[in-house]
Amino acid sequence: MKILVLGSGGREHALCWKLKQSPRVTAVFCAPGNGGIAEVATCVPHKISEHDALVAFAKSEGIGLTVVGPDDALAAGIVDRFQSESLRVFGPTQSAARLESSKVFAKEFMFRHGIPTAASGQFSSAQEARAFAAKMNTPIVVKASGLALGKGVIIAATHAEADAAIREIMEERKFGDAGAEVVIEEFLEGEECSIHALVDGRSFLLFPSAQDHKRALDGDQGLNTGGMGTFSPADKVLPPALEQRVRVEVLERFVAGARADGLDFRGMLFPGLMITKDGPKVLEFNCRFGDPETQVLLTRLEIDLVDLLEATIDQRLDAVSARWKPEAAVCVIMASGGYPGAYAGGKTITGLEKADARVFHAGTKKDGDAFVTAGGRVLGVTALAPTLAQARDRAYLAVKQITFDGAQYRTDIGAKGL
């Protein structure tokens, strides 16, 4: 079988790396890919927005399965297009992907089906949003409804900050059309946790827990990012009793709710959770593999990923199981200086060959024989070890072997799990 992966980040590098290990796979392609992905897959020079070209490539090359990485491709209906051409593809349809591409749609779904989440209001009018926020206790969470690369969430400590956030998102369109609507939400206190579950429309298969680190700086300070690192398992945050509540209160209700709504969701469901004193509550739904969660989860997966993806497409998840390595995995993101704000690219990366860890490339490209930076998040340095403490030590030792001008990273990834 030939596989095509769509995307160009660290998540897609991890997917290509894992899919290539399948004895069923004869070739892996990635569109458009990046410098590191080119070492494990053949990169195809098509943007994920070029649906016609991607369909034509899949047909001409005899691609047996296409795996969609990024959220914007799902929101744009790439799965629908491939399905209309009788091409096998993993990921939810455009209609089902609204659970990620529209926070308003997702919140209404959660309220309708009793999935625990923060109290909130949804608005297309800045004036109405401000009036609602003025009545709330601070801090207040202001979210752009649409896709904003994981950065469209602002936590306002005061009502004045909430007003400013609404202005930035809705009136100044800091995140473009993603800010046409906003969700104004109560602030939930607790620990964040990421869960992943394959959903086939009838059943689900839960992956191990992980914990992402969204803020740019140590101690969960600084601006929101696409993710600065993660670790798995996150048993301290999500012990077995709480995991069972997630199964019942989130995943079972999700599957039943999607069926009741006639929403045929087949793909990866990735709810971001806040573990509060009242139990788990859903912050948002994502409809694809997380980044950088994928890097640690696939490092721990022992079985063939292709089998799991095909079982999802064919609604056979209740007949399969997954095996996971007992070791812990830690992924530390090395980012360009200035990220998530303005940053410069083209910085030469050295020391990759010295790193005793799996290095997944996110924002890199080749310049002759060298790798250079070409994005905000550059590398995901991922280590596996018998304990979380050992995995952290190994990951950070590898990080110190790798250099590029202006490199920045958090030094506390995984510390909460110790």
pLDDT at residue 74 tops 90: yes
Matching residue, tokens 């297009």:
81
pTM: 0.93
Model pLDDT for residues 97-118, shown as the tens digit of each residue: 999 999 989 999 999 999 999 9
Question: In 158-258, which ranges are E strands?
Answer: 182-186, 191-194, 197-199, 204-206, 211-212, 215-217, 221-224, 229-232
pLDDT tens, position by position, 186-227? 999 999 999 999 999 999 999 999 999 999 999 999 988 999
Tell me what pLDDT residue 153 has: 87
Examine the pLDDT at 243 and tell me if it is beyond 90: yes
247 pLDDT above the threshold of 80:
yes
Range 9-29 average pLDDT: 98
Task: Summarize the confidence of residues 68-73 as an average pLDDT.
Answer: 96
User: Could you give the CA distance from residue 359 to residue 377 in angstroms, rounded to a whole number?
Assistant: 13
Smallest CA-to-CA distance from 308 within 316, 299, 296, 298 is with 316
Looking at residue 148, its pLDDT comes to 80
Q: What structural domains and CATH numbers belong to the chain?
A: 2-94 (3.40.50.20), 125-180 (3.30.1490), 191-319 (3.30.470.20), 328-417 (3.90.600.10)
CA dist 176 and 333 (Å) reads: 26
Q: Name the phi and psi angles at 276, rounded to 5.
A: -100, 175
Q: What are phi and psi of 117, to 5 degrees?
A: -155, 175
Give me the sign of the Cα torsion angle 224, 226, 230, 232. Answer: positive
Q: What is the pLDDT of residue 73?
A: 96
Q: Is the peptide bond before 340 cis (omega within 30 degrees of 0)?
A: yes
Provide the pLDDT for residue 363. 96
pLDDT in tens, 404-415: 999 999 999 999
Query: Taking Cα atoms as reference points, which of 374, 308, 309, 390 lies closest to residue 339?
Result: 374
**Closest to 3 measured CA to CA, from 11, 22, 14:** 22
Q: How confident is the model at residue 150 (pLDDT cuts 50, 70, 90)?
A: low
The pLDDT value recorded for residue 264 is 95
Give me the pLDDT at residue 152, please: 84
Instruction: Report the mean per-residue pLDDT for the chain.
Output: 95
341-371 pLDDT per residue, tens: 999 999 999 999 999 999 999 999 999 999 9
Q: What is the pLDDT of residues 51-62, one digit of tens each?
A: 999 999 999 999
Question: In angstroms, rounded to a whole number, what is the distance separating the alpha carbons of residues 12 and 266?
Answer: 19
